[in-house]
């Protein structure tokens, strides 16, 4: 989904006219039906979960870069272990939801990032990293009470080759930043230093502002000897997970998932003494992911509704319709697949649906993912907290 919704609004019909009106009506249909979620997930379940030493907090649960529902922010999650916080993806509104979650000190002085130990980005599509520039630029103002230890940030490196044009045979578009068209996380962050230079230099001279480079230690996940990404972006089958980081009792591993042609794309697993939480990132059904999630306590998995895909495709010109539909359904996991074909064979105890496309679907539609899955299904909501292990 990642980049196509805005493209569809812009390209599928003229600026005015019935085609554009039909598409906008389609995108807003669920909102009109009253599907907006409350601002925060509350109630006995969330209150009880907060007593757990290890917990999952869904910060934002919407998939794709288009804002369809003001009740859901872009995809972002937190794993909490005691007083440590680890963030996974930083979609639209992640920083806002982090403050709302209360995971920081809440002292009114700027401490939202004080407990954050690590940040993990599954891939570099905009809906997963949109708040990274904001968090990078303002991070030093949001760490009151923190020591000198940096926040470690992990994500994809430079893929080294442009993805294939889809559909095959379509004209190649103009290339952005042709000198370095596929920067990874560290290079991307270097560009942020250039973009915010006026602010950073001014604050350093005016008030001794801490440099973001001193706060964030940024790492490209090394795929040397594992995979040289090709234009198709189809990852190899891995024999074992990739070691990413150990922070005391918290161990983070990863695998390559299939979000072709976007690559590399990662899933992450967090293991603590209390249990395990796995994040799929964006992917179709993936054997690598099933192995990474084997016997996990919680699997947080993306999901797309094929009915919505059909509605979008119907709004396109006939020449684009089937190619776009195929692309969306072959790079994501559908409602019918996620429980039956991923969570069940992995043996996970709890499946949490996240990165919901469309964000406006009513919960009853997502609950169809229970079919073929014998564990507990949870439809994600912004700020929902779930305990891992015993409280």
Average pLDDT, the chain: 89
pLDDT at position 83 is: 95
Cα angle vertex 156, ends 351, 193, to 5°? 120
- Of 9 and 104, which is predicted with more confidence? 104
Give the best-scoring range by mean pLDDT among 14-28, 138-152, 312-326. Answer: 138-152
Segment 6-15 mean pLDDT: 41
- Of 21 and 34, which is predicted with more confidence? 21
pTM: predicted TM-score of the whole model, two decimal places: 0.89
Where are the domains positioned within the chain? 4-162+185-225+243-388
pLDDT digits (tens, 9 = 90+) for 91-100: 999 999 999 9
DSSP letter at 127 equals H
Percent of the chain with pLDDT over 70: 88
CA proximity to 313, closest of 15, 79, 26, 46: 26
Q: Which architecture does CATH list for 4-162+185-225+243-388?
A: 4-Layer Sandwich (3.60)
- Of 20 and 272, which is predicted with more confidence? 272
DSSP letter at 247 equals E
CB 271 within 8 A of CB 251: yes
Task: Give me the DSSP letters along 203-228.
Answer: HHHHH-PPPHHHHEEEEEPP-TTT--
User: With 70 as the cut, is the pLDDT of residue 219 above it?
Assistant: yes
Sequence-separated (6 or more) residues with CB below 8 Å from residue 51: 387, 391
User: With 70 as the cut, is the pLDDT of residue 198 above it?
Assistant: yes
The arrangement of strands across the sheet holding 298-304 comes to 242-247, 250-256, 266-272, 275-279, 298-304, 350-357, 376-379
Of the pLDDT bands very low, low, confident and very high (cuts 50, 70, 90), residue 46 is low
CA–CA distance, 279 with 298 (Å, rounded to integer)? 9
């Amino acid at each position: 989904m990642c980049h196509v919704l805005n493209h569809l609004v812009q390209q599928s019909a003229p600026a005015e006219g019935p085609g554009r009106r039909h598409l906008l009506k389609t995108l807003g249909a669920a909102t009109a039906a009253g599907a907006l979620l409350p601002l925060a997930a509350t109630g006995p379940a969330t209150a009880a979960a907060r007593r757990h030493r290890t917990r999952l907090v869904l910060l934002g649960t919407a998939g794709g870069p288009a804002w369809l529902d003001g009740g859901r922010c872009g995809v972002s999650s937190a794993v909490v272990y005691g007083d440590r916080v680890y963030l996974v993806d930083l979609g639209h509104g992640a920083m806002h939801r982090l403050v709302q979650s209360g995971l920081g000190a809440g002292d009114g002085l700027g401490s939202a990032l004080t407990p954050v130990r690590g940040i993990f980005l599954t891939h570099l599509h905009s809906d997963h990293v949109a708040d990274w520039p904001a968090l990078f630029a303002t991070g030093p103002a949001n760490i009151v009470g923190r020591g000198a230890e940096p926040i470690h940030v992990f994500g994809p490196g430079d893929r080294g080759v442009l993805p294939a044009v889809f559909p095959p045979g379509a004209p190649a578009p103009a290339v952005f930043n042709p000198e370095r068209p596929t920067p990874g996380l560290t290079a991307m962050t270097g560009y942020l230093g250039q973009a915010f230079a006026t602010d950073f230099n001014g604050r350093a001279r005016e008030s001794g502002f801490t440099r973001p480079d001193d706060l964030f230690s940024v790492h490209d996940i090394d795929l040397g000897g594992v995979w040289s990404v090709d234009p198709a972006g189809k990852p190899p089958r891995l024999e074992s997970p990739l070691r990413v980081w150990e922070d005391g009792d918290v161990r983070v591993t990863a695998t390559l998932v299939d979000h072709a042609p976007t690559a590399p794309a990662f899933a992450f697993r967090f293991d603590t003494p209390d249990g395990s939480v796995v994040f799929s990132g964006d992917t179709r059904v993936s054997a690598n992911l099933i192995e990474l999630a084997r016997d996990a306590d919680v699997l947080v998995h993306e999901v797309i509704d094929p009915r919505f895909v059909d509605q979008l495709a119907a709004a396109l010109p006939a020449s684009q319709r089937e190619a776009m539909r195929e692309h969306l359904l072959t790079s994501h996991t559908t409602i019918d697949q996620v429980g039956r074909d991923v969570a069940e064979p992995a043996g996970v105890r709890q499946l949490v649906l996240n990165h919901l496309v469309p964000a406006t679907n009513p919960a009853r539609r997502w609950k169809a993912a229970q079919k073929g899955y014998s564990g507990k299904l949870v439809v994600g909501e912004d700020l929902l907290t779930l305990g891992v292990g015993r409280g």
